[in-house]
Amino acid sequence: MISKEKILKISQTIKDFKALILKKFWVLSIYVILGAALGLFLASKSEKMFFAKTTFMLDGGKGGGSSPFSGLAKQFGIGGAGGADVITADKVVELIRAKRIVVGGLLMDATIDGKRDLLINHYLEKVIYRDSEKKPNVLFKRGEKLTFKQDSVLNVVYGQVLMSGFSSVASKKDGIITIKFNSNNEEIAIAFLQNTLSFLTSYFTTKSVEKEQKSVDLMTRKVDSILVELQLAESQMADMKDHSVGMSKAIGRLGEVKLTRKIKVLNVLYGEGIKNLEIARYSLMEKEVIFQTIDEARTPLAWEKLAKTKAVLIGGILAGLIGLLIIILKKQYNTIINA
Protein backbone atom coordinates (compact mmCIF):
# COMPACT_ATOMS: atom_id res chain seq x y z
CA MET A 1 0.00 0.00 0.00
CA ILE A 2 1.29 3.47 -0.92
CA SER A 3 2.05 5.56 2.12
CA LYS A 4 0.59 9.02 2.71
CA GLU A 5 4.04 10.59 2.35
CA LYS A 6 4.53 9.10 -1.13
CA ILE A 7 1.08 10.29 -2.22
CA LEU A 8 1.88 13.80 -1.04
CA LYS A 9 5.25 13.69 -2.79
CA ILE A 10 3.68 12.59 -6.08
CA SER A 11 1.00 15.28 -5.74
CA GLN A 12 3.64 17.91 -5.13
CA THR A 13 5.64 16.73 -8.19
CA ILE A 14 2.56 17.07 -10.38
CA LYS A 15 1.89 20.56 -9.03
CA ASP A 16 5.51 21.55 -9.70
CA PHE A 17 5.26 20.15 -13.23
CA LYS A 18 2.08 22.14 -13.93
CA ALA A 19 3.67 25.26 -12.50
CA LEU A 20 6.73 24.75 -14.68
CA ILE A 21 4.60 24.41 -17.83
CA LEU A 22 2.62 27.56 -16.98
CA LYS A 23 5.81 29.43 -16.22
CA LYS A 24 7.46 28.36 -19.48
CA PHE A 25 4.26 28.45 -21.57
CA TRP A 26 5.55 31.09 -23.98
CA VAL A 27 8.85 29.22 -24.43
CA LEU A 28 6.95 26.02 -25.23
CA SER A 29 4.70 27.97 -27.59
CA ILE A 30 7.75 29.18 -29.50
CA TYR A 31 9.00 25.59 -29.85
CA VAL A 32 5.59 24.45 -31.11
CA ILE A 33 5.32 27.36 -33.60
CA LEU A 34 8.83 26.73 -34.91
CA GLY A 35 8.14 23.00 -35.27
CA ALA A 36 4.86 23.63 -37.06
CA ALA A 37 6.54 26.14 -39.38
CA LEU A 38 9.28 23.63 -40.16
CA GLY A 39 6.65 20.95 -40.90
CA LEU A 40 4.79 23.36 -43.20
CA PHE A 41 8.02 24.22 -45.02
CA LEU A 42 8.93 20.55 -45.53
CA ALA A 43 5.41 19.76 -46.74
CA SER A 44 5.55 22.57 -49.30
CA LYS A 45 8.90 21.31 -50.60
CA SER A 46 8.03 17.60 -50.55
CA GLU A 47 7.63 15.67 -53.81
CA LYS A 48 5.11 13.09 -54.81
CA MET A 49 6.14 9.60 -53.79
CA PHE A 50 4.94 6.87 -56.18
CA PHE A 51 4.29 3.34 -54.92
CA ALA A 52 4.89 0.49 -57.41
CA LYS A 53 3.89 -3.09 -56.66
CA THR A 54 4.26 -6.38 -58.58
CA THR A 55 3.04 -9.82 -57.56
CA PHE A 56 4.22 -13.16 -58.93
CA MET A 57 4.55 -16.79 -57.92
CA LEU A 58 6.92 -19.71 -58.37
CA ASP A 59 6.04 -21.82 -61.38
CA GLY A 60 8.83 -24.30 -62.05
CA GLY A 61 11.03 -27.12 -60.79
CA LYS A 62 8.26 -29.71 -60.79
CA GLY A 63 10.37 -32.83 -60.66
CA GLY A 64 11.25 -34.89 -57.62
CA GLY A 65 14.66 -35.31 -56.05
CA SER A 66 16.95 -32.35 -55.62
CA SER A 67 15.56 -28.94 -56.40
CA PRO A 68 16.84 -27.15 -59.50
CA PHE A 69 17.21 -24.08 -57.30
CA SER A 70 19.40 -25.61 -54.60
CA GLY A 71 22.71 -24.80 -56.26
CA LEU A 72 21.61 -21.23 -56.94
CA ALA A 73 20.40 -20.74 -53.37
CA LYS A 74 23.75 -21.91 -51.98
CA GLN A 75 25.55 -19.20 -54.00
CA PHE A 76 23.73 -16.61 -51.90
CA GLY A 77 24.11 -18.49 -48.61
CA ILE A 78 20.44 -19.46 -48.56
CA GLY A 79 19.45 -22.95 -47.53
CA GLY A 80 21.16 -25.65 -45.52
CA ALA A 81 21.36 -29.39 -45.36
CA GLY A 82 18.71 -31.82 -46.46
CA GLY A 83 15.27 -30.34 -47.15
CA ALA A 84 16.57 -26.82 -46.60
CA ASP A 85 18.13 -26.96 -50.08
CA VAL A 86 14.69 -26.81 -51.68
CA ILE A 87 13.95 -23.24 -52.65
CA THR A 88 10.73 -21.71 -51.38
CA ALA A 89 8.88 -18.43 -51.80
CA ASP A 90 10.41 -17.23 -48.52
CA LYS A 91 13.91 -17.84 -49.84
CA VAL A 92 13.10 -16.04 -53.08
CA VAL A 93 12.04 -13.08 -50.93
CA GLU A 94 15.53 -13.05 -49.41
CA LEU A 95 17.22 -13.61 -52.76
CA ILE A 96 15.45 -10.83 -54.66
CA ARG A 97 17.07 -8.19 -52.42
CA ALA A 98 20.56 -9.56 -53.06
CA LYS A 99 23.01 -7.12 -54.62
CA ARG A 100 23.56 -9.31 -57.70
CA ILE A 101 19.85 -9.25 -58.54
CA VAL A 102 19.27 -5.54 -57.84
CA VAL A 103 22.42 -4.44 -59.70
CA GLY A 104 21.58 -6.80 -62.57
CA GLY A 105 18.22 -5.05 -62.98
CA LEU A 106 19.83 -1.60 -62.81
CA LEU A 107 22.21 -2.56 -65.63
CA MET A 108 19.32 -3.43 -67.95
CA ASP A 109 17.68 -1.04 -70.43
CA ALA A 110 14.65 1.08 -69.57
CA THR A 111 12.75 3.84 -71.33
CA ILE A 112 12.27 6.93 -69.15
CA ASP A 113 10.80 10.15 -70.56
CA GLY A 114 11.06 8.63 -74.04
CA LYS A 115 14.80 8.02 -73.69
CA ARG A 116 16.21 4.48 -73.93
CA ASP A 117 19.22 3.88 -71.69
CA LEU A 118 20.48 1.74 -68.83
CA LEU A 119 18.24 2.10 -65.79
CA ILE A 120 21.22 3.00 -63.59
CA ASN A 121 21.89 6.10 -65.75
CA HIS A 122 18.24 7.15 -65.47
CA TYR A 123 18.34 6.54 -61.71
CA LEU A 124 21.43 8.70 -61.26
CA GLU A 125 19.91 11.53 -63.29
CA LYS A 126 16.32 11.43 -62.00
CA VAL A 127 16.83 10.37 -58.39
CA ILE A 128 20.38 10.90 -57.13
CA TYR A 129 21.03 14.20 -58.94
CA ARG A 130 17.43 15.41 -59.31
CA ASP A 131 17.95 18.49 -57.08
CA SER A 132 21.45 19.24 -58.25
CA GLU A 133 22.66 21.38 -61.13
CA LYS A 134 25.49 18.91 -61.64
CA LYS A 135 25.11 15.94 -63.93
CA PRO A 136 26.27 12.42 -63.04
CA ASN A 137 30.04 12.19 -63.49
CA VAL A 138 29.87 8.42 -63.93
CA LEU A 139 28.00 6.90 -66.87
CA PHE A 140 27.44 3.24 -67.61
CA LYS A 141 27.50 1.60 -71.04
CA ARG A 142 25.97 -1.67 -72.15
CA GLY A 143 28.25 -4.68 -71.87
CA GLU A 144 31.30 -2.82 -70.59
CA LYS A 145 33.42 -4.13 -67.75
CA LEU A 146 32.74 -2.17 -64.57
CA THR A 147 35.49 0.05 -63.22
CA PHE A 148 36.22 0.50 -59.52
CA LYS A 149 34.46 3.88 -59.57
CA GLN A 150 31.37 2.46 -61.28
CA ASP A 151 31.25 -0.42 -58.80
CA SER A 152 31.43 2.08 -55.94
CA VAL A 153 28.53 4.05 -57.43
CA LEU A 154 26.49 0.86 -57.73
CA ASN A 155 27.17 0.09 -54.06
CA VAL A 156 25.83 3.51 -53.07
CA VAL A 157 22.76 3.15 -55.30
CA TYR A 158 22.12 -0.37 -54.01
CA GLY A 159 22.16 0.92 -50.43
CA GLN A 160 19.76 3.73 -51.32
CA VAL A 161 17.42 1.33 -53.11
CA LEU A 162 17.12 -0.80 -49.98
CA MET A 163 16.28 2.33 -47.96
CA SER A 164 13.81 3.63 -50.56
CA GLY A 165 11.01 1.29 -49.73
CA PHE A 166 12.20 -1.72 -51.77
CA SER A 167 10.57 -4.64 -50.01
CA SER A 168 9.53 -8.20 -50.73
CA VAL A 169 7.17 -10.51 -48.88
CA ALA A 170 5.64 -13.94 -49.51
CA SER A 171 2.11 -14.93 -48.60
CA LYS A 172 2.05 -17.82 -46.13
CA LYS A 173 -1.29 -18.95 -47.56
CA ASP A 174 -0.63 -19.30 -51.28
CA GLY A 175 3.09 -18.48 -51.73
CA ILE A 176 2.39 -15.38 -53.83
CA ILE A 177 5.36 -13.01 -53.69
CA THR A 178 4.86 -9.24 -53.58
CA ILE A 179 7.66 -6.77 -54.31
CA LYS A 180 7.30 -3.02 -53.77
CA PHE A 181 9.40 0.01 -54.61
CA ASN A 182 8.87 3.71 -53.93
CA SER A 183 10.31 6.55 -55.99
CA ASN A 184 9.73 10.21 -56.74
CA ASN A 185 9.65 9.23 -60.44
CA GLU A 186 6.72 7.09 -61.59
CA GLU A 187 8.47 5.60 -64.64
CA ILE A 188 11.57 4.66 -62.65
CA ALA A 189 9.46 2.96 -59.96
CA ILE A 190 7.80 0.78 -62.62
CA ALA A 191 10.98 0.13 -64.62
CA PHE A 192 12.88 -0.87 -61.49
CA LEU A 193 10.41 -3.62 -60.59
CA GLN A 194 10.14 -4.79 -64.21
CA ASN A 195 13.93 -5.01 -64.63
CA THR A 196 14.48 -6.65 -61.26
CA LEU A 197 11.90 -9.36 -61.94
CA SER A 198 13.15 -9.82 -65.51
CA PHE A 199 16.76 -10.25 -64.37
CA LEU A 200 15.70 -12.53 -61.52
CA THR A 201 13.75 -14.73 -63.95
CA SER A 202 16.59 -14.86 -66.47
CA TYR A 203 19.23 -15.56 -63.86
CA PHE A 204 17.09 -18.12 -62.04
CA THR A 205 16.17 -19.90 -65.28
CA THR A 206 19.76 -20.09 -66.50
CA LYS A 207 21.14 -21.34 -63.20
CA SER A 208 18.29 -23.68 -62.28
CA VAL A 209 18.49 -25.61 -65.57
CA GLU A 210 22.25 -25.41 -65.97
CA LYS A 211 22.71 -29.10 -65.14
CA GLU A 212 19.87 -30.19 -67.43
CA GLN A 213 21.18 -28.00 -70.27
CA LYS A 214 24.63 -29.61 -70.00
CA SER A 215 22.98 -33.06 -70.16
CA VAL A 216 21.01 -32.08 -73.26
CA ASP A 217 24.12 -30.69 -74.95
CA LEU A 218 26.13 -33.83 -74.13
CA MET A 219 23.38 -36.16 -75.36
CA THR A 220 22.95 -34.12 -78.53
CA ARG A 221 26.65 -34.50 -79.35
CA LYS A 222 26.53 -38.26 -78.67
CA VAL A 223 23.40 -38.76 -80.79
CA ASP A 224 24.94 -36.77 -83.65
CA SER A 225 28.11 -38.86 -83.40
CA ILE A 226 26.12 -42.10 -83.52
CA LEU A 227 24.15 -40.83 -86.52
CA VAL A 228 27.36 -40.05 -88.40
CA GLU A 229 28.67 -43.57 -87.68
CA LEU A 230 25.35 -45.10 -88.74
CA GLN A 231 25.24 -43.18 -92.01
CA LEU A 232 28.83 -44.14 -92.75
CA ALA A 233 28.11 -47.83 -92.06
CA GLU A 234 25.00 -47.77 -94.27
CA SER A 235 27.01 -46.13 -97.05
CA GLN A 236 29.68 -48.81 -96.74
CA MET A 237 27.02 -51.53 -96.85
CA ALA A 238 25.48 -50.10 -100.01
CA ASP A 239 28.92 -49.82 -101.64
CA MET A 240 29.80 -53.41 -100.66
CA LYS A 241 26.57 -54.76 -102.15
CA ASP A 242 27.22 -52.88 -105.39
CA HIS A 243 30.66 -54.46 -105.73
CA SER A 244 29.60 -57.96 -104.67
CA VAL A 245 26.97 -58.49 -107.39
CA GLY A 246 27.53 -61.89 -108.96
CA MET A 247 30.27 -62.79 -106.45
CA SER A 248 30.01 -65.47 -103.76
CA LYS A 249 33.36 -65.17 -101.95
CA ALA A 250 33.28 -65.96 -98.21
CA ILE A 251 35.44 -62.93 -97.40
CA GLY A 252 32.85 -60.66 -98.97
CA ARG A 253 30.04 -62.35 -97.06
CA LEU A 254 31.97 -61.93 -93.77
CA GLY A 255 32.37 -58.18 -94.32
CA GLU A 256 28.67 -57.85 -95.07
CA VAL A 257 27.74 -59.76 -91.88
CA LYS A 258 29.98 -57.46 -89.78
CA LEU A 259 28.50 -54.33 -91.31
CA THR A 260 24.97 -55.67 -90.84
CA ARG A 261 25.69 -56.32 -87.16
CA LYS A 262 27.26 -52.87 -86.76
CA ILE A 263 24.28 -51.17 -88.39
CA LYS A 264 21.87 -53.03 -86.09
CA VAL A 265 23.86 -52.00 -83.00
CA LEU A 266 24.08 -48.39 -84.17
CA ASN A 267 20.34 -48.31 -84.90
CA VAL A 268 19.61 -49.50 -81.35
CA LEU A 269 22.04 -46.95 -79.87
CA TYR A 270 20.61 -44.19 -82.03
CA GLY A 271 17.02 -45.05 -81.05
CA GLU A 272 17.91 -45.12 -77.32
CA GLY A 273 19.85 -41.89 -77.72
CA ILE A 274 16.91 -40.13 -79.35
CA LYS A 275 14.59 -41.34 -76.59
CA ASN A 276 16.91 -40.20 -73.80
CA LEU A 277 17.47 -36.88 -75.57
CA GLU A 278 13.73 -36.22 -75.77
CA ILE A 279 13.36 -37.06 -72.07
CA ALA A 280 16.18 -34.67 -71.21
CA ARG A 281 14.66 -31.94 -73.39
CA TYR A 282 11.27 -32.42 -71.75
CA SER A 283 12.87 -32.17 -68.31
CA LEU A 284 14.63 -28.99 -69.40
CA MET A 285 11.46 -27.43 -70.81
CA GLU A 286 9.52 -28.34 -67.65
CA LYS A 287 11.94 -26.37 -65.50
CA GLU A 288 12.45 -23.35 -67.76
CA VAL A 289 9.42 -21.35 -66.59
CA ILE A 290 10.28 -20.16 -63.10
CA PHE A 291 8.11 -17.16 -62.26
CA GLN A 292 4.56 -16.38 -63.29
CA THR A 293 3.61 -12.69 -63.04
CA ILE A 294 0.16 -12.10 -61.55
CA ASP A 295 -0.11 -8.32 -61.28
CA GLU A 296 2.47 -6.04 -62.85
CA ALA A 297 3.12 -2.42 -61.85
CA ARG A 298 1.44 -0.10 -64.37
CA THR A 299 0.57 3.56 -64.65
CA PRO A 300 -1.07 5.37 -63.04
CA LEU A 301 0.57 4.44 -59.72
CA ALA A 302 -0.79 5.33 -56.32
CA TRP A 303 1.07 8.30 -54.88
CA GLU A 304 1.28 10.31 -51.72
CA LYS A 305 2.56 13.74 -50.78
CA LEU A 306 3.22 14.97 -47.26
CA ALA A 307 0.00 16.76 -46.30
CA LYS A 308 0.45 20.27 -44.89
CA THR A 309 -2.00 19.76 -42.02
CA LYS A 310 -0.36 16.49 -41.04
CA ALA A 311 3.11 18.02 -41.29
CA VAL A 312 2.11 21.02 -39.12
CA LEU A 313 0.62 18.77 -36.42
CA ILE A 314 3.56 16.37 -36.35
CA GLY A 315 6.12 19.18 -36.43
CA GLY A 316 4.36 21.12 -33.65
CA ILE A 317 3.92 18.10 -31.37
CA LEU A 318 7.50 16.85 -31.80
CA ALA A 319 8.97 20.32 -31.29
CA GLY A 320 6.78 20.85 -28.21
CA LEU A 321 7.93 17.54 -26.68
CA ILE A 322 11.56 18.38 -27.41
CA GLY A 323 11.13 21.83 -25.84
CA LEU A 324 9.46 20.32 -22.76
CA LEU A 325 12.28 17.82 -22.36
CA ILE A 326 14.89 20.59 -22.61
CA ILE A 327 13.07 22.68 -19.97
CA ILE A 328 12.82 19.73 -17.55
CA LEU A 329 16.46 18.77 -17.99
CA LYS A 330 17.53 22.40 -17.49
CA LYS A 331 15.47 22.62 -14.25
CA GLN A 332 16.99 19.37 -12.96
CA TYR A 333 20.46 20.63 -13.78
CA ASN A 334 19.85 23.91 -11.92
CA THR A 335 18.47 22.00 -8.92
CA ILE A 336 21.59 19.83 -8.75
CA ILE A 337 23.93 22.83 -9.12
CA ASN A 338 22.11 24.86 -6.42
CA ALA A 339 21.89 21.94 -3.99
Neighbouring CB atoms inside 10 A of 76's CB total 14
Q: What single-letter DSSP state applies at residue 144?
A: P
Percent of the chain with pLDDT over 70: 80
Which CATH number describes the domain made up of 49-209+290-304? Answer: 3.30.1890
Residue pLDDT, tens place only, 322-333: 888 888 888 777
Q: What are phi and psi of 68, to 5 degrees?
A: -70, -15
What integer is the mean pLDDT of 48-67?
69
- pLDDT value of position 195: 94
CB distance 68 to 74 below 8 Å = no
CB distance 114 to 106 below 8 Å = no
- pLDDT value of position 117: 92
pTM: 0.59
Percent of the chain with pLDDT over 90: 17
Residue pLDDT, tens place only, 122-145: 999 888 887 666 777 788 988 888
Name which residue leads in pLDDT, 313 or 103. Answer: 103
Residue type, 299: T
Supply angle C-alpha 302, 304, 308, rounded to 5: 160
Q: Is the dihedral of CA 319, 322, 328, 332 positive or negative?
A: negative
Domain spans, the chain: 4-45+307-338, 49-209+290-304, 212-287
Residue type, 139: L
Given a cut of 80, whether residue 84 has pLDDT beyond it is no
What CA–CA distance (Å, rounded) separates 328 from 339? 16
Choose the most confident range, by mean pLDDT, from 236-240, 250-254, 308-312, 322-326: 322-326
What CA–CA distance (Å, rounded) separates 3 from 12? 14
Name which residue leads in pLDDT, 102 or 75. Answer: 102
Given a cut of 90, whether residue 202 has pLDDT beyond it is no
Supply angle C-alpha 196, 63, 178, rounded to 5: 30
* Nearest CA among 113, 248, 134 for reference residue 191: 113
Given a cut of 80, whether residue 162 has pLDDT beyond it is yes
- Please list, in sequence order, all residues whose beta carbon lies within 8 angstroms of the beta carbon of residue 325, skipping any fewer than 6 positions away: none
Given a cut of 70, whether residue 255 has pLDDT beyond it is yes
- pLDDT value of position 327: 81
- pLDDT value of position 81: 44
Neighbouring CB atoms inside 10 A of 235's CB total 10
Residue pLDDT, tens place only, 257-307: 788 888 888 888 888 888 888 887 877 776 665 678 888 888 888 867 656
- pLDDT value of position 68: 46
